[in-house]
Structure 1
Amino acid sequence: MAPSLLLPMEDSQLFSPQVLKQAPRSGLEGAVSLEAQAPAGSNLSFTSSFSSSSPSANGNGHSGHESANGNGISAGQRREHFVTSQTLLEQSKNFASSNAGANGTTKKPNILYIMADQMAAPLLKMNNPDSVIKTPNLDKLAETGVVFGSAYCNSPLCAPSRFTMCSGQLPSKIGGYDNASVLNPDVPTYAHYLRREGYETVLAGKMHFIGPDQLHGFEHRLTSDIYPGDLGWTVNWDKPEERQEWYHNMSSVMQAGPCVRSNQLDYDEDVMYKSTQYLYDWAREDPNTRRPFALTVSLTHPHDPYTMTRDYWDRYEGVDIPLPKVRMDREDQDPHSQRLMKTVDLWDNPIPEEAAIRARRAYFGACSFVDDQIGKLVQILKNCHLDENTIIVFSGDHGDMLGERNLWYKMSWFENSARVPMIINYPSQFEPKRVTESVSTMDLLPTFVDLAGGDASAVLPVDGKSLYNYLVSDEPGKDEVFGEYMGEGTVTPVYMIRRGPWKYTTSLVDPPQLFNLVEDPQELVNLATSSKHAQTFAAFNTEARKKWDFAAIHQDVLAAQRRRRLCWSALQIGRKETWDYQPPGVEKDRYIRSHIPLDDLERRARFPVVDYLGREKSAAATHHGIAGAAGE
């Protein structure tokens, strides 16, 4: 493992990998009335107050996850570390000798992690050969990579899912309850781990960090986020029947169709520009001084609103856009689904078939848009001779129901909402194959660390399990996913266990569900009350209650909601400060300026490197940067 990057070199031995490997793994009254929400005849009873001496949901004695600034670092201090893309690698000299190979390539592979937002895995051709969605670049990655065909998020909502993916820990352990939960700065993310392994960690695009820390271990963040970084989207279990104005509504479906421009297109094109520029800049740097990169490119498509430019809309002209397979009247829905219908204002506003077709067509077009961006990134890797030493990982934060079961968006544990695409592509090392066991995005952190040559379990305990063995062997893996959902449409956490053919969901107030996804892939037959499956159900029921302290976690979430709502209401008075991240806009050294020798700049900016007669110089024979620009 590389030396620690968290401390100056003279102090790095305090937290060296050798030292870390020796370390062991490591009251509110008036709560929402759960009795009122419990099904009749359930005989469930709950405490009405929370004692500070009660076991904390996160298991470490902390019940507060939303500290105002966590590490006490001022915005001015944090800004000292922000640089523009053309100067990123000037700060990377200290790891040149340990990471540069004799042939001019880095010893460790680069990592390109591409995320899509709200991409429903069951609808993609990589998982469904009959799919009409056109994703040739994804299909190519799947053909040459390792496909995880039963991959899930651990919380079907943007911020909690991303926090869990970033940290490798379940939401209840890090306070990642909803889209306004603060991820504390002392929660290690895969960016922290990879920096310790000698990587330059870079983020372009959406991650929905909430709070004053908007980097969370990323050395550089190239774009702003598309969503607010404040407490404004806090869920309110004290008024579960009250729709917040920021909740989803059905306008995304009713207004679906082609567009010339949208906010999301503006955002994703900025993400792509900054990402591709970073790759070009990295390729032009001196291989003897640059570190391997771990670049996360996080797109906001195909997330609603369901609209896309005419060229993508027209790709589906004449295509038979399939309607949802499962229709279900609202009276036949389970209680959580009924709440979701009310949450998104669907209960009294059924969607016409024509609008559903328009929304799905636009969504398919948005998937094709994402696919084109993947193709551009892959091509840049090839053009810059980076493809042979770059691992490509593709996944998402959650799916989209897209009208299945008469539900839209996410927020449920049904397959379209909870499953995500997942591919790890590195053909020179990992043979193409398909993994059928269930895994989750929480498993990516330890996987990234293993790919970097480290060991996450030797540093701090995480809930995720590395997928590395799937990549290098055919031995069966864990085949297990745990999930927690505490966001919109809930009145208490909804838990999920996925193992083998089974999916089990439960909560304090809703009847449990048990589905056999092999025999019932559409999740139509709830086996929770089946005498034939009583033993299986009882085992899941016992496991869930051993794993989660339902009442304590409920109280933790409720307390966090109340704290955040109080703070948010106070922050609306008087002067307003924002946590929204704004990247630096300084371009002083990128273009022609009087203080830069013109020939040096032009040669430095050209790739591949040429000598003074314009002859291309091979990567093995030269390096880039100033020496290369001088023709050496």
Structure 2
Amino acid sequence: MKTPARNLIVIMSDEHSPKALGCYGSEIVRTPNLDALAARGTRFSAAYCSSPVCIPARASFAVGKYIHQVGYWDNADAYDGAIPSWHHHLRERGHDVVSIGKLHFRKTGEDHGFSDEIIPMHIIEGKGDLMGLVRSELPVRKGAYKMARYAGPGESQYTFYDREITARAQVWLREAVRRESDKPWVLFVSLVAPHFPLTAPPEHYYHYYEQNLPMPKLYEKGERPTHPYLVDYARSFNYDDYFDRETVKRAVAGYYGLCSFLDENIGKILRTLEETGLADSTRVMYTSDHGDNMGTRGLWGKSTMFEETAGVPLIMAGEGIPRGHTVDTPVSHVDAYPFILDAVGHTEPSLREGYPGVSLFDTAAGAVPERNVLVEYHGMGSTTGAFMIRHGRYKYVHYIGYPAQLFDLETDPEELNDLASNGRYAAVLDECHQRLLSVCDPDEVDRRAKARQAELLAQNGGREAVIERGDLGFTPAPGAVIAFD
């Protein structure tokens, strides 16, 4: 779709579930700035990440391809700039392409394609989470206690980091009006909230804690699904061992409080656009790298294929984007790549050959028929590759060596009833599996991922060495203390 070239701000958060925004239907979480953005733009109701964990998700977003196409499999295998990104392509064409905040790429000093990386967060020691390379007899995470222990009111290294990211973004925009350029710029602002630690600024935390918050869905032990993939994850990332009902309330209030803190920071950035006169010439896109289980099914963190985790908020606004519009067609983060190129005026076919994405401009305009999107996972807390296909009303999840799952999201949006063993859905199950095979060969992909992980594991001293190195819990913000457990 032809659109006039405009400046673009891409705002990405970390671990923001689509279930935790007012404009996505939450009656609890306050997100007035994101709600206002959706009201003046387009909201995608069925948007998905490429992988529900930070590093693969962010690598895929950068290069516009699925994980199995690029090979950044897990949190120890970060983007290094070797595969051209949309940042590279736009910088090469004379655009100013700047990042502020979390990137979670391999290390500073590599060319990731940006004109400038301002206060970036990259993986620790260029190695990241080496324990995630262990894919059999999964180790128990010694840092899992941090999820419960840090839940509460206050400030953390992440809230301080987000305040600095927001300030730097405001400064950059105010200085942008002083710069002369004949080409649109792209600013990638990457905030960390609501990623744990679940420590939220008090004004946001207590707004939720003082309510009668409901317990997470399917939280009671007798309610939890017992699919072996979920059991593997819960045993390795044993966050819930440290929770009781009071701690759950603190954690949920902390998560929701961080969502509102995130919204506050986004509001500051959007107001700066207005105050500088840049709003009319700048489009805005908001999304998150993946979602968060938020205690549902007794799970915390990410790494599953449920809507809370594989689903993401995706909102965009500006010229050429329908106002007050909701799109139900499934979309993926791989669709951001052609959208960003289109937004700044690059529609040449050579930049799209071999890429699976469809421009979000086209989908928002209703020009895209029914399609499938893929989510895949090959990382920490899993012994087997997981592949999700969204096909119309159905969500199909294929596991190597484990039973499949099937959900009808039209009649069961909370994914309470797995239909995979119901014989009446055998034809649907088969059709969804064939759709998956048309995208990739899951067995071949699983073998390739594990071969790469075995190679990296050997390079880092083997199983016992990486387990001895320990668990960070979460990547430290720039300048923060590195403390393994």
Instruction: State the AA in 1 paired with 2:420.
Output: A
Contact 1:114 1:393 survives alignment (8 Å): yes
The aligned counterpart of 1:242 is: 139
Shift of the 475–547 alpha-carbon distance from structure 1 to 2, 3 Å rule, reads closer
The aligned counterpart of 1:110 is: 7
Offset at 1:435? 0.4
The aligned counterpart of 1:271 is: 165
1:448 is paired with a residue of what secondary structure?
helix
- Equivalent residue for 2:276, pick from 365, 381, 384: 384
Shift of the 533–318 alpha-carbon distance from structure 1 to 2, 3 Å rule, reads same
The aligned counterpart of 2:233 is: 340
- Structure 2's unaligned 5+ residue stretches are 467-475, 480-485
- Equivalent residue for 2:65, pick from 169, 181, 202: 169
Instruction: State the AA in 2 paired with 1:293.
Output: W
Alpha-carbon distance between aligned partners in 1 of 2:249 and 2:391, rounded to the nearest angstrom: 34
- Equivalent residue for 2:98, pick from 177, 192, 202: 202
Alpha-carbon distance between aligned partners in 2 of 1:388 and 1:412, rounded to the nearest angstrom: 39
- More helix per residue: 2
Contact 1:306 1:359 survives alignment (8 Å): yes
Offset at 1:477? 3.7
Bigger mean CA offset, 276-285 vs 319-328: 319-328
Instruction: State the AA in 2 paired with 1:369.
Output: F
Shift of the 465–233 alpha-carbon distance from structure 1 to 2, 3 Å rule, reads same
Counterparts of 1:315-326 in structure 2, within 5 Å, are 315-316=207-208, 318-326=210-218
Offset at 1:537? 0.8
Note the alpha carbon deviations across 1:389-420, whole angstroms, 9 max, x for none.
00000000111111111111110001111111
The aligned counterpart of 1:252 is: 147
Counterparts of 1:92-171 in structure 2, within 5 Å, are 108-128=5-25, 130-171=26-67
Bigger mean CA offset, 497-506 vs 559-568: 559-568
Contact 2:135 2:380 survives alignment (8 Å): no
Shift of the 328–310 alpha-carbon distance from structure 1 to 2, 3 Å rule, reads closer
Note the alpha carbon deviations across 1:442-501, whole angstroms, 9 max, x for none.
110011111222226422421222111133x23454442101100112112111101210
Instruction: State the AA in 2 paired with 1:279.
Output: L
Contact 1:231 1:565 survives alignment (8 Å): no
Instruction: State the AA in 2 paired with 1:395.
Output: T
Shift of the 250–126 alpha-carbon distance from structure 1 to 2, 3 Å rule, reads farther
Instruction: State the AA in 2 paired with 1:356.
Output: V
Contact 1:204 1:271 survives alignment (8 Å): yes
Alpha-carbon distance between aligned partners in 2 of 1:544 and 1:192, rounded to the nearest angstrom: 30
Alpha-carbon distance between aligned partners in 2 of 1:216 and 1:429, rounded to the nearest angstrom: 29
Counterparts of 1:330-479 in structure 2, within 5 Å, are 332-346=225-239, 349=241, 351-426=243-318, 430-455=322-347, 457-459=349-351, 460-471=353-364, 473-479=365-371
- More strand per residue: 2
Percentage identity across paired residues of the two chains? 28
Offset at 1:428? 6.6
The aligned counterpart of 2:383 is: 491
Contact 1:306 1:362 survives alignment (8 Å): yes
Contact 1:194 1:448 survives alignment (8 Å): no
Shift of the 338–359 alpha-carbon distance from structure 1 to 2, 3 Å rule, reads same
Give the TM-score normalised by structure 1.
0.69
1:301 is paired with a residue of what secondary structure?
strand
- Equivalent residue for 1:306, pick from 198, 220, 226: 198
Larger radius of gyration: 1
Shift of the 340–360 alpha-carbon distance from structure 1 to 2, 3 Å rule, reads same
Shift of the 484–429 alpha-carbon distance from structure 1 to 2, 3 Å rule, reads closer
- Equivalent residue for 2:372, pick from 476, 480, 486: 480
2:374 is paired with a residue of what secondary structure?
strand
Give the TM-score normalised by structure 2.
0.89
Note the alpha carbon deviations across 1:21-53, whole angstroms, 9 max, x for none.
xxxxxxxxxxxxxxxxxxxxxxxxxxxxxxxxx
Contact 1:190 1:449 survives alignment (8 Å): yes
- Equivalent residue for 1:549, pick from 430, 434, 441: 441
Offset at 1:545? 3.7
Offset at 1:581? 11
Offset at 1:380? 0.8
Offset at 1:244? 4.9
Note the alpha carbon deviations across 1:318-340, whole angstroms, 9 max, x for none.
43322213235377421111011
Counterparts of 1:515-554 in structure 2, within 5 Å, are 515-554=407-446
Note the alpha carbon deviations across 1:183-236, whole angstroms, 9 max, x for none.
243312121232244421000111110256644111110113064252241323
Offset at 1:122? 1.7
Shift of the 480–544 alpha-carbon distance from structure 1 to 2, 3 Å rule, reads closer
Bigger mean CA offset, 307-316 vs 408-417: 307-316
Alpha-carbon distance between aligned partners in 2 of 1:198 and 1:488, rounded to the nearest angstrom: 39
Contact 1:446 1:456 survives alignment (8 Å): no
Shift of the 486–241 alpha-carbon distance from structure 1 to 2, 3 Å rule, reads same
Alpha-carbon distance between aligned partners in 2 of 1:311 and 1:524, rounded to the nearest angstrom: 34
Alpha-carbon distance between aligned partners in 2 of 1:475 and 1:238, rounded to the nearest angstrom: 42
Matched pairs, number? 462
Instruction: State the AA in 1 paired with 2:30.
Output: K
Whose RCO is larger (CA < 8 A, sep 6+)?
Answer: 2
- Structure 1's unaligned 5+ residue stretches are 1-106, 573-579, 584-632
2:213 is paired with a residue of what secondary structure?
coil
Contact 1:515 1:523 survives alignment (8 Å): yes
Shift of the 214–204 alpha-carbon distance from structure 1 to 2, 3 Å rule, reads farther
Contact 2:41 2:322 survives alignment (8 Å): yes
